[in-house]
Amino acid sequence: MPPSDPQNPPREGNRIAKLLARAGIASRREIERMITEGRVAIDGKPIDTPATILSSLRGVTVDGNPVQAPAPARLFLYHKPSGLLVTERDPAGRPTIYDKLPSDLPRLVPVGRLDLNTEGLLLLTTDGELKRQLELPSTGVERAYRARAYGTVTQAQLEDLIEGVEIEGVRYGSINANLERRTGANVWIEMILTEGKNREVRRVLEYLGLKVSRLIRTRYGPFLLGDLAPGEIGEVRQHDVVAFRRDPTRTPAPDHAKPPASRSRGDRTAAPAKTDRPYRAPKPGPDAADPRKAPRAPAPAAIKPKRFYDAKEKGGVTPTKPARTAARSDTSARARRTATDPRRKEGELVDRPRGPAPGARPAKPARPGAGKPRPSRTRR
């Protein structure tokens, strides 16, 4: 490591483009363009380089307006429908996600990208540093996808992807792939990866001889798509964002590790443990030395959004309530059959005694004296 120069000590702080991006002014590239145009100034003096190092935004103005201190990072979960581009604007005029998002949201930047025909979970944030933390492969944040592909593949071929694969000179890291089910000539495959390179899932499956017809991202780290309808967006709670930044590699608990459902009113059993309650180690006892008898800490639960925004005003797809079935008529089935019976005549009942069926045995004649009361028997 080279010795530090005492005459030119390293300056503490960040580039002004990074600070302005964190404050939600614009993207770093857009801020660099604004600096070149002379729209950014410090204490009234325009700056000419985006490499300016600052410790805070005190005295910084953009177009003559002072810049406020950056607010806490906010994170949103968006169910991207197929057919939308993940970009702010498209030169060809194709629709983008910003054309469908509600207008009352703050300035949001996407975490990663989803292709035009890829759907599912897309993370949006107001903080550029959080965006970079989520995107870097070194962070180790998992991405889960479900792919429907045409062709034939075996589980052994998918398990070989755990060692990574090189396709046309591009090295793809470890991929955990599992064959879910087959539906006719198509297969459903679940894939979990941590790199997220451009079109990685499609290229790997094409390398195996499959043609992807549908691709859905279902999870990004601990954030799940869940029951978020296409076109809907929800915000993650602030304490969940803080917890994620402390431990970005944690994943949601599997189904068997999640706490049981809440109790009914009449249930008198013990209440389920809350996953957000801090775990406390048990006191030393006779069973503390045996790890098989020691209680385990609860696994982290999946993070879900706290409130939803309606994207209907911009043409987004919103969930519709199922139509209620028509009420059943009060007329009984017997009355309906009677009204439509062709044997029915005016003023005559249909349920009169019917004659014997053709080919049936004749009824036995009644015995003599049948129906008469028997005389009472008295003992003499």
Task: Just list the catalytic residues.
Answer: 115
Q: Which residues of 153-180 are buried (b: 16+ CB within 10 A; e: fewer)?
A: beeeebeebeeebeeeeeebbebebebe
Note whether 305 and 228 are within 8 A (CB). Answer: yes
SS3 label, residue 128? helix
Task: Give the closest residue to 306 by CA, choosing from 249, 233, 229.
Answer: 233
**How far, CA to CA in Å, does 214 sit from each of 74, 124, 186, 222?**
30, 22, 11, 23
Note whether 341 and 350 are within 8 A (CB). Answer: yes
9-17, Cβ contacts within 8 angstroms, sequence gap of 24 or more: 11/53, 12/55, 13/53, 13/54, 13/55, 13/56, 14/53, 14/54, 14/55, 15/50, 15/51, 15/52, 15/53, 15/54, 16/40, 16/47, 16/50, 16/52, 16/53, 16/54, 16/60, 17/50
SS3 for 49-76 is CCCCEECCCCCEEECCEECCCCCCCCEE
The two tokens of residue 73 are: 């990072």
